[in-house]
Structure 1
Amino acid sequence: MNVVGPLVLLCCIIGGYSSQLEVLNQWTLLNFDLPFEYSYEDIRLENTVFTGFEVTSNRIFLATPRLRVGVPATLSTIPRNTPPGSSPVLQAFPDWSMHGAVRGDVNCTGLISVYRIRADSCNRLWVLDSGVMTSLDDFTRVCNPKLMVFDLRTDQIVRTVIFPREVLRPSSLLTNLIIDEDVQGRCDSAFVYMSDTASPGLVVYDGLKDQAWRIMHPAFFPDPDFSDYNVDGESFTLMDGVVGLAHSPTLSTLYFQPLATDRLFSIPTSALTKGPPVEFEQMPVSLVGKKSSQGLGLTISLTDDTLYFSPLTETAVATWNPVTGQQRLLAYDSEKLQFPAELRWLNDGSVWLLSTRFQKFFKRTIISSEINLRIIRIPPKNGLSRGVNNHLLY
């Protein structure tokens, strides 16, 4: 695909790309329904930013990892149907007894630091707990990483997976997951693909065999040439490896991207699910294309395999279809689309995203009187019908 001009210039010329953004919820800083025994001296809302979410019929689940001290709960819920632009109070999930780490009450059977979550077709929520506190400051591992599965009918734990030592590294940070169900409704036999961002690699879990293994490839690593980011005129540096994941069941393909790169990669899921790789085995990783800038959020349409991604510098959401090659600019807004942490395609064809202004949380430049966090919905069929001049991926 040929590039004839930067995406950011196109965004400034074409109007109407922010008018389709539906701001479902927004906050200056997140607010939690704290139990009476919690002291506000322990809480640092200016350190609390969401990185992952899941949407069910009646709830939105929000993951707020403990990047720094003072994060009240690392997994919470709000009602799905609230007034547009409202700022609902977050409720700890499943309850506050699982979140004592904020007060120094570390219990490894509870939730330590969650980056992302996924629901399966059996109405269960898979929660990936990194086990790492204050990962931006001193990277303190207090518990082994684990997968916890909650039955959303009862909010009770039905399965816990503790990963064996051989699939981890001393600085492992598990940040994202994909649930690959071979047949809908057979959730216990699903494969789970997880990104290790700080010790770059993929961890694969076979739910039927209760076995995990590690996949390595240079494409999982960050590129030092892309470790500097500029969002709305504010720059910062972060050397994060693989974190963005999207799965196409029809193409049997896992798409992935490190944060510090302009590249998007893919690997056949058959290479992931066949079992632990043998020594010196070469993984069949392919370069899908190059983006206009770095990105974090990544999702895919289950109807036509269109990929949705968000180039950070351009404060935009874009699409690319690997089958047809068509590209589109889906949305652009220099204020509302600052650092989308996660994108999710829903069955009605809409795309939901978390807008976080992470650059301000990272640099401690948050202004508590400004809107810093948003849940945004992009309706179906938004964006250009012709994509040849959108210059999104090449």
Structure 2
Amino acid sequence: MKRPSLPLVALCLAFSSCHGLNFGQFNQRVIPSRMRYTTPTIPVASIANTLGAGHSPLQEIFQYNQLSYNIPLGAQFENGAYDPSRNVFTGLEVTHDRIFLAVPRLYPGVPSTISYVPRAAIGVIPNPPLEPFPGWDWQSPNGLGGYSANCSGFTSVYRIRADRCNRLWVLDSGLTNSLAGFMPVCNPKMIAFDLSTDQPVRTVVFSRSVLRPSSLLTNLAIDYEGPETDPNCERLVFYITDTAVAGMVVYDLARDQARRVSDLSMYPDPDYGTYTIAGESFSLMDGVIGMALSPARAPSERLLYFQPLATNRVFSVPTSALRDFNAGEGQQLPVTLVGRKSSQGAGLAMDDLGILYFSPVAETAVASYSPATGQQSIITVDNDRLQFAAELRVDDSDGSLWLLSTRFQKYFRNTINLNEINLRVIRIPQELLMNSQGAVGQFGYQLGGVHNVYTRSANVSHYFA
């Protein structure tokens, strides 16, 4: 299906950060002259109509004041095993029958770090309890039995991914209390589960040679080297973010080999280490976290898009460079600066048309950008329901965009009000993603306005100029 042409208009017509500027002034002051008037603009009246009530494409699938869990009859949480003010989800995967949610142990009091909700609950229960996956016996060290380091189970999971062979890959960081003491408990690992039986079928424990003492593995992207008809999905390559010690772990499943890569583009930018969301600010110097793979035209041509949390920039790198196991750790990666956003963000997603989706946190928006054409759009703005999009996922079955929205700033600052809605699972249908001519667009810095190839350099200002 062909995506309609998207207009390019000024973001400050919608966002309060540009008070006092009209559209012409914005063009002169903010948009570099070589970028001006490259595509049609929307009249101000049209934008005002777009921002009216009743036009939001957001479908709230589930909403929670606080996360609750389905515990066995007669069981109860041990003292300190459950603190609702410390349970915030960061990871999402959507399958044909379940919605999987990862709740990392950022603080003590998280009983289950990976759970699911049946899709059958959609439209029936607005806040269904979470069912631990694959069961309570996997939820160490803070499950029903309280604190016990059982490294055969899960320690703390940030994100999960399903492959096309009906397996769920769970990335376990191996540490707890990452925002309250940073406590390593077990070696980081990945475990694959057959979703037809919920039984583990593969375990990968990462060697210390690709880790650092403070490594924090938070996200994974799955690349397919084999043909789509490969019944076993054994020719997989995983790209895994190390957010605390900026870099990536690349793991080849067929060869059972791992390597570590790093680049200055994966580091946090100190100028963007403070975030302001809905009037509340916090600081967090997190490195690379968001990732999205370009469509699989051919494995050698794929790009991995990525961004640190503490930056306003999006980068890309050819996956062929990441998969070069003959290169050493000092390899100079051919990283490209794709462009700048209006503010920071965590999640990235890309659909099969090559459209990149992201959520700038300060603007509480969902946006899209086409690297191929330079076209961009703000799909929607919602100051209440889009305060921090921790995860964005495209459902390959229907092209819809799913996201996790949380009031993460309040969890971080311990100002959460459990009488309000704080966590949402949201879906945007494909037709509303594609029919975005009426949405406001154009960021303060144009994505795609600058295309440079960066390599490792001792001059940090090479990146942050």
TM-score range, shorter chain: over 0.9
Match of 1:333 in 2: 382
Match of 1:29 in 2: 66
Q: How far 1:40 moved relative to its partner?
A: 5.4
Unaligned runs of 5+ in 1: none
Q: Does 1:132 align with 2:175?
A: yes
Residue pairs, 1:72-87, within 5 angstroms: 72-84=111-123, 86-87=126-127
The 8 Å contact of residues 8 and 375 in structure 2, kept in 1 or not, is answered as: no
Q: How far 1:106 moved relative to its partner?
A: 1.4
Deviations 1:177-236 (A, max 9, x none): 001012234422100000000001010000000010000100000000000000010100
The 8 Å contact of residues 188 and 207 in structure 1, kept in 2 or not, is answered as: yes
Relative to structure 1, the CA distance from residue 269 to residue 376 in structure 2 (aligned partners, 3 Å threshold; closer, same or farther) is: same
Q: Alpha carbon RMSD of aligned pairs, Å?
A: 2.1
Match of 1:379 in 2: 429
The 8 Å contact of residues 175 and 194 in structure 1, kept in 2 or not, is answered as: yes
The 8 Å contact of residues 60 and 80 in structure 1, kept in 2 or not, is answered as: yes
* DSSP-derived class of the 1:337 partner: coil
Match of 2:76 in 1: 38
The 8 Å contact of residues 262 and 329 in structure 2, kept in 1 or not, is answered as: no
Quick one: which amino acid aligns to residue 374 of structure 1?
R
Match of residue 311, structure 2, among 251, 261, 277: 261
Tell me the distance in 1 between the aligned counterparts of 2:94 and 2:77. 30
Match of 2:290 in 1: 244
The count of aligned residue pairs is 393
* DSSP-derived class of the 1:166 partner: helix
Relative to structure 1, the CA distance from residue 8 to residue 157 in structure 2 (aligned partners, 3 Å threshold; closer, same or farther) is: same
Match of residue 105, structure 2, among 51, 63, 66: 66
Tell me the distance in 1 between the aligned counterparts of 2:377 and 2:404. 20
The 8 Å contact of residues 327 and 387 in structure 1, kept in 2 or not, is answered as: no
Tell me the distance in 1 between the aligned counterparts of 2:282 and 2:318. 34
Match of 2:15 in 1: 8
Tell me the distance in 2 between the aligned counterparts of 1:3 and 1:284. 32
- Higher-Rg structure is 2
Match of 1:165 in 2: 208
Deviations 1:54-88 (A, max 9, x none): 00101000000000001010000101132437100
Residue pairs, 1:265-280, within 5 angstroms: 265-278=315-328, 280=330
Tell me the distance in 2 between the aligned counterparts of 1:350 and 1:203. 29
Deviations 1:208-266 (A, max 9, x none): 00010000100000000000000010100000000000001235000000000000000
* DSSP-derived class of the 1:219 partner: helix
Quick one: which amino acid aligns to residue 160 of structure 1?
T
The 8 Å contact of residues 118 and 177 in structure 1, kept in 2 or not, is answered as: yes
Q: How far 1:328 moved relative to its partner?
A: 1.0
- Could you state the TM-score of these two structures normalised by the residue count of structure 2? 0.81
Match of 2:138 in 1: 98
Q: Does 1:174 align with 2:213?
A: no
Relative to structure 1, the CA distance from residue 162 to residue 18 in structure 2 (aligned partners, 3 Å threshold; closer, same or farther) is: farther
Match of residue 222, structure 1, among 268, 274, 283: 268
Match of 2:157 in 1: 114
Deviations 1:13-57 (A, max 9, x none): 441586221101010000001234432532111100000010010
Deviations 1:136-182 (A, max 9, x none): 01000000100100000110110100111110000000000001012
The 8 Å contact of residues 316 and 331 in structure 1, kept in 2 or not, is answered as: yes
Unaligned runs of 5+ in 2: 1-6, 19-43, 448-465
Tell me the distance in 2 between the aligned counterparts of 1:322 and 1:213. 28
Q: How far 1:387 moved relative to its partner?
A: 7.8
Match of 1:323 in 2: 372
* DSSP-derived class of the 1:318 partner: strand
Tell me the distance in 2 between the aligned counterparts of 1:115 and 1:339. 15
* DSSP-derived class of the 1:209 partner: coil
Tell me the distance in 2 between the aligned counterparts of 1:23 and 1:352. 10
The 8 Å contact of residues 111 and 129 in structure 1, kept in 2 or not, is answered as: yes
Greater share of strand residues, 1 or 2? 1
Q: How far 1:104 moved relative to its partner?
A: 1.0
